[in-house]
Each structure stands twice: as structure tokens, then as C-alpha cells.
Structure 1
Amino acid sequence: MCPSEVARKLDPISWRRLMPEVRQAAVALADAGQVEVLQRGQVVDGRTARGPIRLRLR
């Protein structure tokens, strides 16, 4: 899934302002071993990833 989907569910109008918090939550879930952060299908470190990311369950 795309983290922007989460932000859009939380606030359909001003979702972009939520993206930093949603990405931080994604990194925390990755640290806990619950999800993987991906770019172009490859697992990446969510802390250093720039641009669009996707999440998948581990």
C-alpha cells in the first residue's frame, strides 16, 4: 500500500500535511518487524528513502 492512502483516509482534503507523520509511523512499524518499506519493489530504509514508498506486510 501507499502511505498516502492512510493520510487520505485521515484527512481527504489536507492529507499532504500528514505525510511526514505517516512515514514516521511506517518506519516504526518496519522497525517492529511488521511491515517492509519498498521503493521500486526493493526493500529500503524508510529513514533515508526519498520519493514515493510502498509498504507491505512481512
Structure 2
Amino acid sequence: MITARLDAVRPGATICPSDVARALSSDWRPLMADVRRVAADMATVRATQKGCDVDPITARGPIRLGRA
């Protein structure tokens, strides 16, 4: 699902993990940790916060997901 969402945006753009969670369920908030965990395991996905690379599992606050 993360890859599909990234495919839907222009090259170089990022998405919010909540975009993925919202696509999976109307009760999306409980899914946020799972989305971050899956993103951390994907070699083709990069997580950033304020433009700096972060670990999506340990980062606190909003992050963005993009292509690595």
C-alpha cells in the first residue's frame, strides 16, 4: 500500500503515513504504528522529518515517506 501511494504522487514527492492508514480503514489512527513499522522494513522507502532522514519507528511527531 505504501508503494502504491508513492506511485500515485509525482516523482520526488512524499506522503504522510496517515495517507496510507486512511486508505486502509476509516478507523485509521490505530494503524499508524503498523504503517511506520512496515515503512521501516522497506528498502525502497525513506522516512524524513523536517528534511532529515529518521527511523520511522522511533521518530516522534509527523514524518513523511518518500522513495529512497
For this structure pair, what is the TM-score category when the shorter chain's length is used for normalisation? Answer: 0.7 to 0.9
Instruction: Please give the root-mean-square deviation of Cα atoms over the aligned residues, in Å.
Output: 1.0
5+ residue gaps in structure 2? Answer: 1-14
2:36 corresponding residue in structure 1: 23
Alignment deviations for residues 2-58 of structure 1 (CA, whole Å, 9 cap, x no partner): 1100000001x20001111111001111xxx21111001111122321111101102
Q: Match of 1:34?
A: 44
Q: What is the percentage of aligned positions where both structures have the same residue?
A: 50
Letter in 2 for 1:42: C
Using the size of structure 1 for normalisation, the TM-score is 0.83
TM-score by structure 2 length? 0.72
2:24 equivalent among 1, 5, 10: 10
4+ residue segments displaced more than 4 Å:
none
Which 5+ residue runs of structure 1 have no aligned equivalent?
none
The answer as to whether partners of 2:18 and 2:28 remain within 8 angstroms in 1 is: yes
